[in-house]
Structure 1
Amino acid sequence: MSQPVELTREILRGMPLPQPEPDAGSKDARGGVLVVAGSRELPGAALLAATAVLRAGAGRLRVATGRSLALALGLAMPEAMVIGLPETARGGLRPGAGRLLTSHAAACQSLLIGPGLNGDAGTRDVLRTLLTAHPDKPVILDAGALTDLGAQRSILEKRSAPVLLTPHAGEMARLLGRDRSAIEEDPLAAAREAAQAFRATVIMKGARTHVVSPQGEAWLHEGGHVGLATSGSGDVLAGILAGLLARGAEAAAAALWGVHLHGEAGCRLAEEEGPLGFLARDLPAQIPRLMAELD
């Protein structure tokens, strides 16, 4: 099996991001995203991911979260349409919530499911319903949406649109039924196995991030920063990916651009604020400038 290609700026410039026409006055020209995220224990994940969606250039944003969180999220994120979903007593999504989102998903160009979700029956219901109802919508599956993904493999096989998976080592271990130590020993092999098994573009997160396409193409990104290993950082990456897909980027381009922008944002903050201690909420504001520099 060939070695991964080092991700460079030259590679990114060879796959430029889609740009709206200069006179495009409609938000729809930049695409819309539905984010399904957040729980009572992790409400901020929805805000982090949603902010990153818009900072990556998407034009419209819908965020679905638990009903008890919806008002606060709407006030914190006035740019978004917020959809309150029925909750369980523990603050997760109640089974049946998925059918409330099918019309919202139809109006969007990409879907993001998982940041801050706890992977319970309600999450599985949303995942199964949206994957089945919208096989033509690119989707990013993150965090809680990865918990029981093996049960959705038959649905993934029937999809026509790209699927992006964003596991860290612990999540990948659960996806493949392995020990975490085995994943950490050879993350590229794990990413290749998952990409083939789930017919997905896999972003194997870590100090060295591997990106593998369903066809086995592989890239390696080593340009991040240790400060990115902080709570909420993965939610921001997932939001960037969703925003780029909504704009019309192909799956591999969205994955590579997203990983690079996320890593560069960490490097910029390390220079400005210090190597440790910057927050995930600081990352999205760096994204527009970084895109402009490369575009």
Structure 2
Amino acid sequence: MLDAALLRGLPLPRHGEGDDKNARGAVLVAGGCREVPGAVLLAGTAALRAGAGRLQLASAASVAVPMALAMPEARVIALPETPDGAIDGSAADLLAERAARAGALVLGPGMMGGGHSADLVAGLLPKLEGPALVLDGAVLEALPDQREVLRRHAGRAVITPHDGEMARLLGTSRQAVLADPLSAAREAAARLQVVTVMKGGCTHVVTPEGRSWRHDAGNAGLATSGSGDVLAGVIAGLLARGAAPLKAALWGVFLHGEAGRRLARDQGPVGFLARELPAGLPRILAEMAG
């Protein structure tokens, strides 16, 4: 069971009063498109609220300037884009260069699926050296073709699929995943050698070796647009601070769920927004550290 008692025995890295922002690590969030630029903002905000020290956002060139204005805390990178506003596969070299200076890379929130994202994944993953990875959204469907490359990143990658994404990743039906989400998570974790966060009403965190933890303290309000982007950002922020992938995933799932629980208590069980979740994270982290 994933709860506060478990996590108190798995403390996060501590940061002293004299530390500068570099001591808490840098996160790069890459994703979005002309139609869905906000997913990158949600993940980036969550990464900073989880304690990361520096943030870069990378998205389609047409949305880079408004993204920079919406989030003055971040450095924003304009990526080459396709005529329909998706990130072009040719962005892989630029992203690899920027990711080399980050502690954690989130790839996928808000990205369009299909050939362009597959090209980006195929071009980027072999070039990455160093950053911990959180793979989410549209890039997940490209991972089965990158199994051998992913194994090179074993020990530093987390994936965060919901049931539909997991079904596409495994080449099965959504109904099959919903019938046994833990088995699906174990299969994905073993195949790809990644820590797997199987999102749902009950979320499962699974290691490549098959160890698992369940967190069923979420609520219906978390099933809202952008909630998964926030979770990906929280995990990345913890990775940047120095937490190992499994610890970052366990803490990330708990913090996300607890932030939702408190919003449900204070505002009502449904109707709160994903953008409201990150603001509660510093208080929860402080309480857990105390």
Q: What TM-score range do you get, normalising by the shorter chain?
A: over 0.9
Is the aligned partner of 1:9 residue 2:4? yes
**What is aligned with 2:75?**
81
Q: Which moved more, 1:202-211 or 1:15-24?
A: 15-24
- The Cα shift of 1:124 comes to 2.5
CA drift of 1:19 comes to: 1.5
Taking the aligned partners of 1:257 and 1:286, their CA distance within structure 2 comes to 14
Per the TM alignment, residue 161 of structure 1 is displaced from its structure 2 partner at its CA by 4.3
1:174 aligned counterpart, secondary structure: helix
Structure-2 residue corresponding to 1:168: 162
* Aligned position for 2:42: 48
SS in 1 for 2:27: strand
Q: Which moved more, 1:132-141 or 1:266-275?
A: 132-141
- Give the residue type in structure 2 aligned to 1:20: H
- SS of equivalent residue, structure 2 residue 197: strand
The equivalent of 2:179 in structure 1 is 185
Q: TM-score, normalised by structure 1?
A: 0.95
Deviation at 1:215, TM superposition (A): 1.5
Distance 1:95 1:262, change over 3 A: same
Give a deviation string over 1:212-234, Cα, whole Å, max 9, x none: 01121100001111100000000
Q: Is the 8 A contact 2:104 2:236 kept in 1?
A: yes
Contact 1:137 1:161 in 2 (8 A): no
User: Whole-Å Cα distance in 1 between the matches of residues 131 and 142 of structure 2?
Assistant: 20
Q: Deviations over 1:37-61 (max 9, x none)?
A: 1111211101111110100100011
Matches of 1:28 and 1:170, distance apart in 2: 37
Give the C-alpha shift of residue 94 in structure 1: 1.4
What number of residue pairs does the alignment pair up?
289
Tell me which residue corresponds to 1:95.
89
* SS of residue paired to 2:175: helix
Of 275, 280, 288, 1:281 maps to 275
1:182 and 1:145 map into 2 onto residues whose CA distance is 21
DSSP-derived class of the 1:148 partner = helix
Distance 2:26 2:121 in 1: 19
Spell out the pairing of 1:216-227 with structure 2 (5 A cutoff).
216-227=210-221
Q: Structure 2 counterpart of 1:130, which letter?
A: L
Deviation at 1:123, TM superposition (A): 2.2
Cα distance in 2 between the residues matched to 1:274 and 1:67: 38
Q: Which amino acid aligns with 1:281?
A: R
Describe the SS at the equivalent of 2:158: strand
**Alignment partners' CA distance in 1, 2:56 and 2:242:** 17
C-alpha distance in 2 between matches for 1:204 and 1:105: 25
TM-score by length of 2: 0.97
Q: Which residue does the alignment assign to 1:59?
A: 53
Identity %: 53
Counterpart secondary structure, 1:23: coil
Moved over 4 A (4+): none
Q: Return the alpha-carbon distance in structure 2 between the equivalents of residues 190 and 32 of structure 1.
A: 32
2:206 maps to what in 1? 212
Aligned to 2:102: 108
Unaligned ranges ≥5, structure 2? none
Question: What does residue range 136-155 of structure 1 map to in structure 2 within 5 Å?
Answer: 136-155=130-149
CA RMSD, aligned part only?
1.1
State the one-letter code of the partner of 1:10.
A
8 Å contact from structure 2 (residues 88, 120) kept in 1 = no
Q: Deviations over 1:49-97 (max 9, x none)?
A: 1110100100011110000000000000000000001111111011211
